[in-house]
Structure 1
Amino acid sequence: MSQAPSSMTFAGLEVWFDDRVLRPREWTQAQSDWAAELLDGAPAGQVLELFAGVGHIGLAAVAANARELVMVDLNPVACELARRNADAAGMGARVEIRQGRIDEVLESRETFPVIIADPPWVPTAGIGEFPEDPTIAIDGGEDGLALARIACEVVDRHLAPGGSAILQLGNIGQADQLDANLAAAGSQLGVVETRTFERGVLVRLGVRAGSSAG
């Protein structure tokens, strides 16, 4: 049975969650901060957050600027809580929430100068190590990268020229594997910067050196 919603402070925002969604991790404020840094010099346009959960990372990224935010998540409970969090932060009017698969809810011509992606990255065999976390929020498939690969496909189609995506992963090995997958697929995108933290890894995806932006 689901518990009543709880709240915590994340990057100065009150964030609501319950046991049907992933509890916000404090270290992921680094992802919000990095996205906000990139937005300072980015072209005009909305920010996109994939696998948004309750929305705390994306909301913190746009809290200090006037950007609009599109958040996508498959879990309807997460979307409901993300709406609550956007409204509580006073950002409800500039946040759009789309419930569904990340590769199905965007129009083909939509592009975004900054994309935030928080895919589940725990290998299926290891999800039992995290009994308090909903499977939908952490199960990344056999190698933990099944949904990260889909996120990269979405980024490839919807990243605006000169833009960047900040993707959350579990470790450096996953970052290297994802970069190799992108290269093998002939993508212009690659991992152009990596930041390592105790609880996970953040990578910035952009056009590889020597690649044409097309």
Structure 2
Amino acid sequence: MTARPPGYGSRVTEETTFGSLTIAYDDRVLRPREWTTAQSDWAAELAATVPPGPILELCAGAGQIGLLAVAGTDRRLVCVDASDVACDFARANASAAGLAQRVEVRQARLENALASDEAYPLVIADPPWVLRTETGQFPEDPLLAIDGGDDGLDVARACLRVIRQHLAPGGSAVLQLGTTEQATRLEHDEGLDTGDLRLVEARRFPRGALVRIDRA
């Protein structure tokens, strides 16, 4: 166990290993999934090639994916989540990792989180992607952290709107989804096969999928 972040009352704070980091969370925050270190690793690889600037993480939760992505770089990280609990954990985890000076955590809805002139060369997004009719299969998970709407893509589409507005030229985004079929639907529905924003690669994993979106 780890010391609880301030204000966490009698809740039990747990710890888990996430790559090279130790991440704290409780039952109000989605438990870090080991497989999602692949999203951090992919983002870290891209960080070596995209233009200079900070990394943006959307639907950050306890912050583990973004924190692991920047841990081996000198880039700053901006984490966004609507949950005050998740934001408190993201701040505590950044501090525990020795990254507090490079990490800004913003509690906000996606549509309100960024100023109109902010641009990021790399965006990480981990939206809920479980179909609403299937959320009952995961009773241990906070509903708001997994409910992706009727087709599982409601929040992913909201993340994509932010990516359209704020991904810098020559930049990349790594978006987590449930399946590559969801990736295909998102690509077709959102026009990611035309224009300057393209879905360039999808990777399937046993428990989810990752897609890379590039801006020309």
Give the TM-score, by structure 2 length.
Answer: 0.93
SS of 2:188's equivalent in the other structure is helix
> C-alpha separation between the residues in 1 aligned to 2:182 and 2:196?
19
Does the 8 Å contact 1:182/1:189 carry over to 2? no
Identity value in percent: 54
> C-alpha separation between the residues in 2 aligned to 1:149 and 1:190?
14
Q: Mark the runs of 5 or more structure 1 residues left unpaired by the alignment.
A: 208-212
Q: 157, 179, 182: which one pairs with 2:165? A: 157
Which residue is equivalent to 2:38?
A: 30
**Counterpart mapping for 1:179-194 below 5 A:** 179-183=187-191, 188-194=196-202
Amino acid at match of 2:15: S
Does the 8 Å contact 2:121/2:168 carry over to 1? yes
Which residue is equivalent to 2:67?
A: 59
Amino acid at match of 1:73: D
Q: 192, 197, 206: which one pairs with 2:205? A: 197
Task: Quote how far apart the aligned CAs of 1:55 are.
Answer: 0.2
Which residue is equivalent to 1:78?
A: 86
Determine whether 1:169 maps to 2:177. Answer: yes
Give the TM-score, by structure 1 length.
Answer: 0.94
Q: 129, 132, 146: which one pairs with 2:154? A: 146
**Counterpart mapping for 1:6-155 below 5 A:** 6-155=14-163
Q: CA RMSD in A?
A: 1.5
Amino acid at match of 1:102: L
> C-alpha separation between the residues in 1 aligned to 2:159 and 2:195?
13
Relative to 1, partners in 2 of residues 1:188 and 1:73: Cα closer, same or farther, differing over 3 Å?
A: same
Residues 18-40 of structure 1, C-alpha deviation per residue, up to 9 Å, x if partnerless?
00010000000000000000001
Task: Quote how far apart the aligned CAs of 1:148 are.
Answer: 0.3
Task: Quote how far apart the aligned CAs of 1:185 are.
Answer: 10
Which 4+ residue blocks in structure 1 deviate beyond 4 angstroms?
A: 184-187
SS of 1:177's equivalent in the other structure is helix
Residues 102-128 of structure 1, C-alpha deviation per residue, up to 9 Å, x if partnerless?
111100110001000000000111100
> C-alpha separation between the residues in 1 aligned to 2:10 and 2:183?
34
- Count of residues paired in the alignment: 208
SS of 2:114's equivalent in the other structure is coil
Relative to 1, partners in 2 of residues 1:146 and 1:185: Cα closer, same or farther, differing over 3 Å?
A: farther
Amino acid at match of 1:9: T
Task: Quote how far apart the aligned CAs of 1:7 are.
Answer: 0.3
Which residue is equivalent to 2:4?
A: none
Relative to 1, partners in 2 of residues 1:141 and 1:63: Cα closer, same or farther, differing over 3 Å?
A: same
Residues 171-206 of structure 1, C-alpha deviation per residue, up to 9 Å, x if partnerless?
011000000012189753231101110000000011
Q: Mark the runs of 5 or more structure 2 residues left unpaired by the alignment.
A: 1-8
> C-alpha separation between the residues in 2 aligned to 1:103 and 1:135?
20
